[in-house]
Structure 1
Amino acid sequence: MDSKKISIRPVLNLSSSIPIEDFQNRTVRPILKLQNELIVELFMFFCAKQKIEILNIKREKFNNTVNTITRKNITLRNQLLGLIIGQFTVKEFEFYKENDSEVNKRILTMIGQRIKDNQSEI
């Protein structure tokens, strides 16, 4: 099952000698790329449900809105993290368990950036 999960991920030739950065580059980034469309759809769904206006606003206000929502809304944060963590292999999850705070912080930062980068498609 783990090999199937890995086989569907985009290949990104990134690495680092620092374990947390290597995990980010080899595991998290490919999963984020794989789940990009779903991440954006979940964010748009959340905003629509909460009646948060994100359409036709200036980039700076959009970026601030994304930052606020992804940092302060625990429900959305947990859903976004679940989209990523659910794609981990058992071995990757073992690493995650030992570094969950740092990995979560990095995941949420990268998700926020992905949403901001996709503003034109929202």
Structure 2
Amino acid sequence: YQNFQKIILDELDKNQIDYEVNGTLEGKVSHHVLNLWLKGVGTYSALTNLDLSGYAVSGGSACTAGSLTPSHVLQAMYGEDSPRIEESIRISFGRFNTEEEIQEFAADLVKMCKRLAK
């Protein structure tokens, strides 16, 4: 899954998308999840656009899946007033995902960010 994370991050970097990883990718972390702050792209807009493109991503933690409530994890990490709270998505990878699917997702994520970023 680390390779999946790298594919997405490399594509964002290559296209100069303004983002930051929420949390860390170092050490003992779950590499099947990538949480990104997409600067200037509202969480709800990102979720809607990605859903319309056929992707299921989340704006919160796994325990609040299906809810539009801001991530309590991000609030605890960065504070309730952080722009990360309203501009982050959580991407989860499954064991049946392929590298080609992740490359396609990364390209669509870039297109969406370019279209929606304030």
| TM-score for the superposition, normalised by structure 2 | 0.27
Name the larger-Rg structure.
Answer: 1
Higher percent of residues as helix: 1
Structure 1 length-normalised TM: 0.26
Instruction: Decide which structure has greater strand share.
Output: 2
